Amino acid sequence: MNTVEIKKDGFYIDGNKFMFVGGEFHYFRTLKGGWRRRLELMKDFGITVVTTYVPWNMHEPSPGKYCFEEHLDLEYFLSLVNELGMKVYIRPSPYMCGEFEFGGLPSWLLRDRTMCLRSSDASFMNAVERYYEVLLPKLVPYLHKNGGPIILAAVENEYGSFGNDKAYMNALADLMRKHGIDVPFSTCGGIDPFKYQNGYLEDSWYAVDFHAVPNAIDENLMKLKEVQPDKPLMSGEAWVGDIMFWGKGYSTERHVKENAEFTKKALELGCIINYYMFCGGTNFGFTSGALSRNGEGYVPLGTSYDYGAPVSEEGTPRKKYFLMRDALDEYLGKPKREHICPEHKIQAIGEIKLCEAAPLFDNSSAIATSAATYGRTICMEDLGQNFGFIRYTTYINYTDDRVRHLHIDEVADRATVYIDGKYIGCVCRNQKAPDIVFTIPKEGCELSVLVENMGRVGYGYAMYDRKGVLGCMHFDIENPDGTFLYNYAQVMGFSTETLPLADISALKYGEPDNNIVKNGEPCFWRGSFKAEAGVDTFIDMAGWKKGCVFINGFNVGKYWNIGSARTLYIPGELISADNVIEVFEIHSPNDTRSVSSIDHSLLCEKPLDPTEADFLLL
């Protein structure tokens, strides 16, 4: 029959009612070699539908250039799910949220200052159409009618929390149909009337998102039943864990019993569940996003997307996995099963010395993807840069001995400031700027500002989130008597280097110079280690301040000593018998200039006390 239908009493495939138990697993947050093991855990649990977003920014990193290789091999992922006998709920919409960088949108969209994101604006839709012409034909062979696993497709995600352009929503649906996507369509979001009315699409299935705890069921599912009485209840994202923010507390064990109780109660109500997340993952490289919250402002997210999910970041089942599985088995009338974790080896290699150094300022010209001089500061997006760092350097001529107080307007997101290569201060988004002072020597001095993109906002109206110095730099000039010169002059003429760190192979390493640490200069540190090839490990960054780690040239993600995560997960797929580790440290290494390879994660460390932090500023 090759039919997929949504009826009032449930989901039907080929005329038969289908037990839809969904679990979110993002292929792009796990390396390709780790997919099967996690999917097998999902199948053993009882998951019948694997749900995944499709990140536009990863698949089209620059306009017209596409990537579907390695851990972005979507077609292989779909074929693997099919091989294991599960179905797919695909979420290919331009926007995904997922706490991902820019919500999954490509940052090059921000080069167009007139574009209205996620709207029927022609400039936005033209970009979407070009992307869909490549993406959607890849999905067609995997539709149910063609013997594939895809049975449901999302048109957009949580749109009621962003806008009200129904023409845009309909245009997306029309594009999907045009390219042959003929399974039922869905949208999801909050159940508040404002979010629901702006976020639903006629003839599609609306699902509501909420925490997977029993006391949230009545408030959300009963309201959904009122507004959508002709379709089955669906928890589009049943949140079974939490996201990790830098500098905030985190727990992998939150709501363990409540998640199991939710499973039982929701199933008894006939609700179709999609657990979010079912398998944790990793925001490799610089892909972790950020939120903008009332009262908190800009809040960046961590590297780990473990989420406290039933299946951890490293792909092992947790207590909640087994308790939730028990609830599902009981509902299905299956006999109780033992709680046995499949064997998964993780190695502890021990201390790894990083004995070589490559100072950034000595190497920036070799690894910069562009370098030019501009009269003012230019943002990353206008220079074609997606991720990483951007460096602005200028020369300040001597005029007098008075103290300068530096101001950098509109920093996005974190700027470290140097005079003649020596660190003098840090300016961070949404925080009161410190007093950065210096005097100019008779021969003049070099002012250099290194700005880090800590993740673009991926939710709500604050998504127009360009990176770099968005305003200007200027000085207050203090007179000897403590008064200040009336001065509105700006600093001009910046040599600007884009440093996405996508390729650091041109770095020139040598013996460490103690002045690097003394001056607080950003530096790459390199070491080597032997290991059992193909076996996972964790890198403990205790004592290091802030930066990112490369294993055999692959950027595994960021670390930051403010917590709560202290380790970075290193998938075995990255590990060979002989390995190179490179650490880019913005401030200073630990006393031993070493890291440790351990066999467990440290994700729930107590965040650093602000009074103990040298570089706490966000």
DSSP codes, 193-228: HHHHHHH--TTSEEEEEEESSGGGHIIIIIHHHHH-
Residue 156 known to be catalytic: no
| Residue 320 CB burial class (10 angstroms; 0-12, 13-18, ≥19) | buried
Q: How far apart are CA 617 and CA 594, in angstroms?
A: 24
- Picking from 391, 383, 328, the residue whose alpha carbon sits closest to that of residue 363 is 391
Q: Considering 158, 261, 313, 314, which one is annotated as catalytic?
A: 158
Q: Are 96 and 146 in contact (CB under 8 A)?
A: no
**Which burial class, exposed, middle or buried, applies to 367 when counting CB atoms under 10 A from its CB (0-12, 13-18, 19+)?**
buried
**What are residue 88's DSSP bridge partners?**
50, 150
Cα gap 205→232, rounded to integer Å: 9
Q: 262-299 as b/e, with b when 16 or more CB fall inside 10 Å?
A: bbbbbbeeebbbbbbbbbbbbbbbbbbbbbbeeeeebb
Whether cis (ω within 30° of 0) applies to the bond prior to 186 is no
Residue 442 has, within 13 A of its CA and on its CB side, a CA count of 0
Active site residue 351: no
Q: Which of 237, 313, 314, 356 is catalytic?
A: 237
Please name the residue that has the structure tokens 């002989």: 578
**Three-state DSSP string of 398-461:** CCCCCEEEEEECCEECEEEEEECCEEEEEEECCCCCCCEEECCCCCCEEEEEEEECCCCECCCH
> What letter does residue 489 receive in the DSSP assignment?
P
Contacts of 304 by beta carbon, 8 Å cutoff, 6+ apart = 244, 280, 282, 283, 313, 557, 565, 568, 569, 601, 603
Other CB atoms within a 10 A radius of the CB of residue 223 amount to 16
The residue written with tokens 């110095």 in the block is: 469
For residue 511, give Cα distances in angstroms to 176, 359, 440, 446, 448.
Answer: 56, 11, 31, 25, 24
Identity of the amino acid at 320 = K
* d(C-alpha 211, C-alpha 263), whole Å: 11
Determine how many CB atoms are found less than 10 A away from the CB of residue 474.
17
Task: Return the structure tokens found at 398.
Answer: 């001597």
DSSP 226-241: HH-TTS--EEEEEE-S
272-276 and 281-282 strand pairing: unpaired
Known catalytic residues are 158, 237
